[in-house]
Structure 1
Amino acid sequence: MPLLPTPPAPASGSDHGESIAWVAEHLGDLARESPTDITAGGFTGGQVAADTALAGVDITGYARDRSTVLPVDRRGASRMSPYIRHGLLPLRTVWDAVSDAPGRDKGRYRDELMWQEYARHLYARVGRDLGASLRRDQPRAGAGSRWTDNPWPDDMKCMETVVGELHTEGWLVNQTRMWLSSQWAVRAGATWRDGEDEMFAHLLDGSRAANRLGWQWTIGTGSGKPYGFSRWQVNKRAPALCRECSLSDNCPIEGWPSDATGPSVDGPYLGAADIPAGPDEVEGPGHADAVWLTAESLGDTDPALDTNPTLPAVFVFDEPLLQRLRLSGKRLVFLAECLGDLAQRRDVEVRRGVVADELADRSVAATWAPVPGWQSISRRVEPVEIHPWPWLVRPGRAPVRSFSAWRKSVGAPGRVN
């Protein structure tokens, strides 16, 4: 596959036109929409956009308002997750950025950063097994004919609104992610992996670690107790939706769903054991001629990138993977903007094809990543220089059965000199 032209740098404001056109021309056949229907989501990709967003973060009131859905201007969520997911803002950077916030808000926000770290530790331990029910099979008591055709029915105003935001913005507050997963699997009884795939395809912060963990926790396959989505949550978090709903007098989620749990499954071991962490210092003989970037680590502070400031960066759009995933074009636009922004500061090569084939003649430096795809591809690429992943809390021996057990075991992040 020939080298692709460098993506354009993100335009200021909300003008994503050049990025959309680049994706439509070079990656349009890999998106779930037709090339003419590709749009951008609600975020601009790139380090400059990430740094600007972080500089404007004020989490005052976060503990009170983080679960607010409507009105939008009352939401307390920080909207950092797309930049965290793609390594533009390492968790440590965000952790330190809120050091001066009010104590209760800082504590609650840092809990959420630790949840992201827990998701990465869990994924590093169980890998692709995170795509299967961890502790129990999903409960099917809520399955009914009403939702056979569409587990997210658009005659429910809450579903229409939240699914619409997912499709246009590519981002949701955590509360509405829970609504969608519970409605899909607990209420409608549809297979949770299908719903997780559908959400993942649109989320600009979509990671298998965080998204699968969120679904498993919500529907009870990983937590043992399903989250019951009902009208009560909608009235509390977004009362306007119920007032505007055509089903207001005949709400299908008026009462609580069954809290039945599914049968236990023989899943991966989640007790105390070593969690793969990658190297704790640079490994390999060096002599790289390029830095291999992945979607896990696209920021200027990527360890391999930062250590090799004169080398070109190489990113490969993994064609077989993207053909299988069929992501929304807005996710590809975000990635393209990250690369276009980086190209303003150093040489960037963008390719499309089979990753190992595209890098076959290169000696690359790379940053280890806590995802199974990196492990399998790196065995073929054979980086000559592997850099440590920037953990918030470096993994060791710990249980991953629950967030509380894991956090008690790993303690708090240490200071960095």
Structure 2
Amino acid sequence: MRASPDIRGGQTAADAALAAFDVAGYAATRNRVLPESGRGASRLSPYIRHGLLSLQEAWNAVAAGPAPDASKFRDELLWQEYARHLYARVGMHLHRNLRFDVAWSGEFAPAAWPREMACVDWALSSLETDGWLVNQSRMWLASQYTVRSGAGWVAGQEYFHRHLLDGSRAANLLGWQWTVGAGSSKPYGFARWQVEKRAPQLCAACPLNRTCPIQNFPPDMDLRPVSNPTPLLVRDDDLATTQGPATVVQRSTPQSVLLTVESLGDADPALLAHPQLPAVFIFDEPALEKLQLSSKRLVFFVETLQDLATRRDVVVHLGDPRLIAPELKAAMTWAPVPSFAKYALSAVELHPWPWLAQPHAGSVQSFSAWRKNLSRPK
């Protein structure tokens, strides 16, 4: 079994994908959906999400490319970094509307994605089969689910998280917040025009071609600001906690290196610091039972660990990290996610997270506000 027909887990696959990526034409074609041969999207996101490629490595890789394309690609990398900064600061607040009121809670509503619409059926089938979508078709599904159908967006993003090989809480939650208007007050209006522009063959073959339910753009929505938004959006008074350790924190001598799903690459700082120690990974059984991740995502992890095992000793556990991790006496790389708390106290050595740009204490209410105070990446 493979994680995906086109995307394989592991450092070897990640390095090959980065070497094969040509940024030329990216700005014009990154949102092209069909035909697949005309897509400009990099498909590097699963490797970036799991630390097989760092944002800095991807940033450097396009330095010699055409300036407009390299600039657009780097903007997308910065969006990923913004998502990480935001999630590290606000944590679980990201699961609720940040700035504007839209439907957010409720059970998963499959009917919000009518599969008789060719565009919806094709995008959902791609998600469920391949575990990957270009950004444009992610926006189609998010907008259809909430803006068009009125379902609560948290359950929709949970379905994405279950299937996407690049499913990260930070990027997935942020993407849905912005697409449905909870983060920006401007919902993405999904209409036939986008499909005909990005994938015209879907409309041509659609059984609803003559009675298209998204023929016109949805009416503009005048969203109300949420009451009592978290003040963390405006100011961070505990920047040290948000950015994690600035230097290595050593409590005792490590006997292993414990990897998390945030950082599975050969360049994981703790892994690099201890080349002689076994690498350990814990399949978090309580979390897996709760999340019900697709087999594609699990196979991606297995492929990654198999690849790593060709270069060093790898030990895999299945169970509760809170019970297993204290026995490992492990070095770890700190990760900017709330779930890292289950490991933090048991690590005997903590290494800093490899930020593309260091978090700052100023506003993160929008990408532009965050970027205004950002120290520019090299």
Residue 122 (structure 2) aligned to one of 161, 177, 181 = 161
What secondary structure does 2:249 align onto? Answer: coil
Following superposition of structure 1 onto structure 2, how do residues 258-337 of structure 1 map, counting pairs within 5 Å?
A: 258-265=219-226, 266-269=228-231, 270-274=233-237, 275=239, 276-337=242-303
2:372 and 2:262 map into 1 onto residues whose CA distance is 27
Query: What is the deviation of 1:399?
Result: 1.1
SS at structure 2 position matched to 1:365: strand
| Larger RCO, structures 1/2 (Cα 8 Å, 6+ apart) | 1
Following the alignment from structure 1 to structure 2, what is the Cα–Cα distance between the partners of residues 148 and 79?
A: 28
Aligned residues of 1:290 and 1:363 also touching (Cα < 8 A): yes
Q: CA deviation at 1:284?
A: 1.6
Query: What residue number does 2:163 align with?
Result: 202
Amino acid in structure 1 at the alignment position of 2:268: D
Select the residue among 212, 236, 257 that pairs with 2:218.
257
Two-structure CA RMSD over aligned residues (Å): 1.5
Q: Where does residue 76 of structure 2 map in the other structure?
A: 112
**Mapped contact 2:235–2:362 kept (Cα < 8 A):** yes
1:122 aligned partner? 86
Cα distance in 2 between the residues matched to 1:379 and 1:92: 25
> Does 147-156 or 46-55 show the bigger shift?
147-156
User: Separation in 2 of the partners of 1:326 and 1:213?
Assistant: 21
Secondary structure of the corresponding residue to residue 233 of structure 1 = helix
Letter paired with 1:192:
W
TM-score, length-scaled by structure 2: 0.95
SS of the aligned residue for 1:359 comes to helix
- 1:152 shift after superposition: 1.0
Distance 1:54 1:188 in 2: 38
Alpha-carbon displacement from aligned partner over 1:83-140 (angstroms, at most 9, x marks no partner):
0000000000000011000000000000000000000000001101100110112169
Q: Which amino acid aligns with 2:230?
A: P
Q: 2: CA distance between counterparts of 1:363 and 1:41?
A: 38
Alignment of 1:391-406 (within 5 A): 391-406=355-370
Deviation at 1:148, TM superposition (A): 7.2
Contact in 2 for aligned 1:272/1:397 (Cα 8 Å): yes
- Is 1:278–1:368's contact at 8 Å kept on the other side of the alignment? yes
Question: Relative to structure 1, is the Cα distance of residues 133 and 41 closer, same or farther in structure 2, using a 3 angstrom cutoff?
Answer: farther
Equivalence for 2:343: 378
Distance 1:191 1:56 in 2: 39
Q: Determine helix, strand or coil for the equivalent of 1:292.
A: strand
Give the SS at the match of 2:112: coil
Once the two structures are superposed, the pairs formed by residues 13-412 of structure 1 within 5 Å of their partners are 17=1, 40=4, 42-138=6-102, 150-265=111-226, 266-269=228-231, 270-274=233-237, 275=239, 276-374=242-340, 376-380=341-345, 382-412=346-376
Asked if 2 retains the 8 angstrom alpha-carbon contact of 1:315 and 1:350, the reply is yes
SS in 2 for 1:101: coil
User: How many Å separate the matches in 1 of 2:74 and 2:235?
Assistant: 24
Please tell me whether the aligned partners of residues 91 and 392 of structure 1 are also in contact (alpha carbons under 8 angstroms): yes
**Do the aligned residues in 1 keep the contact of 2:191 with 2:216 (CA within 8 Å)?**
yes
Q: 2:344 and 2:248 mapped to 1: Cα distance?
A: 17
The letter for the 2-side match of 1:71 is P
Deviation at 1:258, TM superposition (A): 2.1
2:360/2:373 contact within 8 Å kept: no
Shift of 1:41: 5.1
Taking the aligned partners of 1:241 and 1:149, their CA distance within structure 2 comes to 21
Q: Structure 2: 5+ residue runs without aligned partners? A: none
CA offsets per residue over residues 46-102 of structure 1, 9 Å max, x none?
A: 000000110111010001011111111110100000000000000000000110000
Change (3 A) 1:245 1:348: same
| Number of aligned residue pairs | 370
Whether the aligned pair in 1 keeps the contact of 2:325 and 2:343 (CA below 8 Å) is no
Q: Percent sequence identity over matched residues?
A: 53
Maintained 8 Å contact 1:235/1:242: yes
Structure-1 separation of matches of 2:223 and 2:109: 20
Aligned equivalents of 1:278, 1:98: Cα separation in 2: 28
Name stretches of at least 5 consecutive residues in structure 1 with no aligned partner: 1-16, 21-38, 141-146
Partners of 1:201 and 1:326 within 8 A in 2: yes
Return the TM-score normalized by structure 1: 0.86
